[in-house]
Structure 1
């Protein structure tokens, strides 16, 4: 488990394309063309279907009534209650001006269907020419995250929606224990490298610093948040946000946690130089703040650096439940990430001072 829920949940594997699945989808949504026969190939490419990728859900690009559509098959842990909430929330966001694709009903007018215990939906395909993966597009996109948080403030949802079984998140109160479990598993392998052994020590230091800081000033402003506002979940067209997609990790958390996740991915992926690191990340905070109806409080701004450092720790939750081979692969990536994150924790006062006040 990664700490997103309080009970053990079977995550399951990403759905695979089979002839039976495609025939069911064709019949349910009355897609264009002919469905595969019983003995026909079920390779998407053979049927002019494109697998759009995604680490969790199966996303298939096809057509209905001559228009491109996306059929999404969810992981088994996502149930009808959560999907119903996600569709409702997407509608609220769209009505408030946050672009996201419309859900398209089945042939008999239902908002979703199911296939062997997996919920399935179909939505419009949004044409786009870029993802939110550069500093310019991050600066352009962060006000939209602020808008999302403003719209979702006060919106309620079912427990399974508020606390997803899996997410790129860890609560402040659970980060230290989660890190300890992940580190214990890594050390149990025995044959770890010197770099990995050092990473375990650094992670323990990181977790201790963050736990102490957040115990003294717990994060506030808990609400529903997007959960993964980054990269190909924010689509651009001609320099503007065209759609916000993928609410798979939506949950009820402090809004600065959601902000910190975007900062974390930007820092770890775009790797700004030390001299530019704080100014660039600080700029993202200010752009996010500009999209809020209720700006960040001084206390929230002060909480961002610890929340940013904590983002690294949810990876240790993944280490605890992954099979050993993928867990080891993840750990090899985390070596550099932890080393990059630890200086933030070691200088929380400096980062807090840098993030204080509004400068836009």
Structure 2
């Protein structure tokens, strides 16, 4: 793992923050926000407290106002410390200066870049008006050059170890793929009530891991750098057909850039492409759009590494299965049954995929 420490065994992720009257009053005071937060020691969902929750699986993101303009209040998970947040804010600034649309951060009332409340860091940024997210084929094609631009800007940028190797990410390193899959599979098999479909999924996941490990042992992914970590869906906002904002560097880390590309390809394949469609030409088009945004195009070796990285992305889910409570782990497994079967088709035909992605189409 390029000298990385295994952070995720030493850090507790924690739960998404729950809005309370105390928390909201402290945020309103620290940032001099418009209006009044709920009074008293109340707690509940943002909707129950009359505040709009903007979503997010990790951080609490609330819509508020400051000086008559909409802003986003972000309350981080407990594991995000001041070192990592300093890096994330610096990196967002670099991206913004390089022309990548990134929301402008707003200081506290006394000029600080964030505040700390109840063991969590809190920041506020401008709210970006938008009319679409990157969850359609049209917007994927339009958004992929921006991912290439992000990678070009971040190439060579350094950061602290906790930023380079975050405790939590939705990716798995090539060197860890077999072990991560094995831990999740072992937990699933320890349950008494798994179905035949789930049992078969475990076997299929082991097959994927073997294909991926063999391929990447022969040709490991290269060009490691800081990458976005979750370039997908509501992390990429559009207005009038153009990228309006790139959000959410929660999973930013130091990985091969093809791993970051593969994450977007994986979720595209699993959620947008019909089951019966020929995946290769469509996903190759996204790779080509991404490539056009790079200052230094993908090398032939990197293009050859994309299919195995795409198949490896599936194994990330087994890492989460090994860490979640049983109820949430079983819910995730229910989703993964179909995903694994689809990914296995890719893993079984890595040579064909490598040949198809070997060069950019005109």
Q: Which residue of 2 aligns with 1:231?
A: 233
| Cα deviation 1:53-103 (Å, max 9, x = unaligned) | 111000000101000000000000101110010000000000000001011
Q: Report the 3-state secondary structure (helix = DSSP H, G, I; strand = E; otherwise coil) of the residue aligned with 2:40.
A: coil
Structure 1 residue 306 and structure 2 residue 300: aligned? no
Q: Deviations along 1:238-271, whole A, 9 cap, x unmatched?
A: 0000000000000000000000000000000013
User: Would you say the 8 A contact 1:60–1:70 is kept in 2?
Assistant: yes
1:200 corresponds in structure 2 to 202
Structure 2 unmatched runs, 5+: none
Deviations 1:89-139 (A, max 9, x none): 000000000001011000000000011110000000000000000111000
Q: Secondary structure at the match of 1:126?
A: coil
Deviation at 1:6, TM superposition (A): 5.8
Task: Supply the distance in 2 between the matched residues of 1:357 and 1:42 (Cα, whole angstroms).
Answer: 53
Q: Is the 8 A contact 2:18 2:43 kept in 1?
A: no
Alpha-carbon distance, 1:41 to partner: 7.3
Distance 1:282 1:170 in 2: 22
- How many residues get paired? 358
Rounded Cα–Cα distance in structure 2 between residues aligned with 1:108 and 1:275: 55
Where relative contact order (Cα < 8 A, 6+ residues apart) is larger, the structure is 1
Q: Distance in 2 between matches of 1:40 and 1:349?
A: 58
Task: Return the alpha-carbon distance in structure 1 between the equivalents of residues 54 and 212 of structure 2.
Answer: 37
Match of 2:86 among 81, 84, 87: 84
2:175 is paired with a residue whose SS is: coil
In the alignment, which of 345, 348, 353 is matched to residue 346 of structure 1?
Answer: 348
2:97 counterpart of 1:110: no
Q: Distance in 2 between matches of 1:135 and 1:311?
A: 20
Question: Which residue among 3, 8, 31 is the counterpart of 2:10?
Answer: 8
Tell me which residue corresponds to 1:134.
136
Contact 2:20 2:41 in 1 (8 A): no
Per-residue deviation, 1:358: 1.2
TM-score where L is the length of structure 2: 0.96
Q: Secondary structure at the match of 1:150?
A: helix
Corresponding residue for residue 337 of structure 1: 339
Change (3 A) 1:265 1:62: same
Q: Secondary structure at the match of 2:189?
A: helix
TM-score (normalizing by structure 1): 0.97
Is 334-343 or 272-281 further displaced after alignment?
272-281
For residues 316 and 96 of structure 1, what CA distance do their matches in structure 2 show? 36
Alpha-carbon distance between aligned partners in 1 of 2:187 and 2:44, rounded to the nearest angstrom: 40
- The DSSP-based 3-state class of the residue aligned with 1:174 is helix
What is the Cα-based RMSD across aligned positions, in Å?
1.4
SS of structure 1 residue aligned to 2:27 = helix
**Does residue 218 in structure 1 map to residue 220 in structure 2?**
yes
Asked whether the 8 Å contact 1:103–1:122 carries over to 2, the reply is yes
How does 1:1-360 map onto structure 2 within 5 Å?
5=7, 7-38=9-40, 44-45=46-47, 48-360=50-362
**Residue range with higher mean Cα deviation, 314-323 or 35-44:** 35-44
Q: How far did residue 158 of structure 1 move?
A: 0.3
